[in-house]
Amino acid sequence: MMHEVLERLAAEGNLRHLPQIEIEGAYVVSEGKRYLNLSSNDYLGLSCSGLHREFMAQAAADSSFLLSNPSSRLITGNSPDYTRLERKLSAMYDGKAVLVVGCGYMANTGVLPAVTRKGDLILADKLIHASLIDGLRQCEADWKRFNHNDMEHLERLLEKYRSDYHDVWIVTESVFSMDGDRAPLREIVDLKRRYDTKIYLDEAHAFGVYGPDGRGGAAEAGVEDACDVRMATLGKALASQGAFVVTDALTRDFLVNRMRTLIFSTALPPISLRWTEFLIDRLPRMNDRRERLARYVERITGESDRTHIIPLMAGENRRAIEMSRRFREAGYWVMPIRPPTVPQGKARIRISLTAALTDEQVDNFAELCRSIG
């Protein structure tokens, strides 16, 4: 069976391989060649900012922490570093309760199955991340999908089903990972209030980049208090490891007792928690990086309201692969995105901009995009 599946994937132009690469600052090195990296989620350019040298100098003088946490947080893995980080994140989010977990996938597959039950309904945008879809499949609650960012369709589903269920959750992303567009959060909040629902918001690609001090899309839209659960990752704009959930104290306590992906997983290593804390302390002072990133987006797209994730649509898989090849020939590392990551017939090149780029690099790349895309 596996052989046949792999042959079919190859015939479809959809067979994947793990690339053999090295990272050198803003570049990818593959087979001895250097490429400017435009596929990373390091949106603020922190992984090559030099901050790691300052952090490691501090760490070298402190022998009080371990490099690993070989246990669940509920056993012996809940080091003091967790407490400090969660308190700092809580302060960042105006005193909301915060729970740090191993990664965004663990949050998205763990929270909704924990907080929903039979008799509940989840209404999820059709373009939510695969991790959220995997989470939906584990829920005892019923779930349905609404057309991408289609508030009329969402309202029709609410009108039809709201009275049949106890709790109804609306699930969406502030910035969508493959299309780079934004959810209409104010409209969603309006529907929440009119139909008495709850909101789960994935801020993975907005945290660090948007909103006051980089707090995310909900903060930018002024709807933070209307979001019942927010999830953000620490391994994208923050260039660290892990994720966190922002919610109320009761829900946090409930997750500690019912979230299987937290309970049955190994805790994050203290060095990662301290690196995250180090960056969180500096995140409010990174407006220059956020402004630079916004400037780069406008220089490539010609639009001021686009995000740092820019898709170049190819349609068919082989067309996306060919576009990626042409970019690499010109010295840029951009990868083809194909089903099942995106729907059939929607293959694309996904450009991820980073504040680590220079004006000259961005201008040269924009010119190439016009000739290839």
Q: Which residues are catalytic?
A: 41, 129, 173, 177, 202, 205, 236
The secondary element (H helix, E strand) that includes residue 292 is: helix 287-301
- How far, in Å, CA of 280 to CA of 157, rounded? 39
- How far, in Å, CA of 125 to CA of 27, rounded? 34
CA dihedral 178, 184, 186, 190 (to 10 degrees): -120
CB-count burial class (<10 Å; 0-12, 13-18, 19+) for 2: exposed
- How far, in Å, CA of 321 to CA of 335, rounded? 8
CA dihedral 140, 146, 151, 152 (to 10 degrees): -110
Q: What are the angstrom distances between the C-alpha of 187 and each of 176, 183, 194, 221?
A: 17, 9, 11, 10
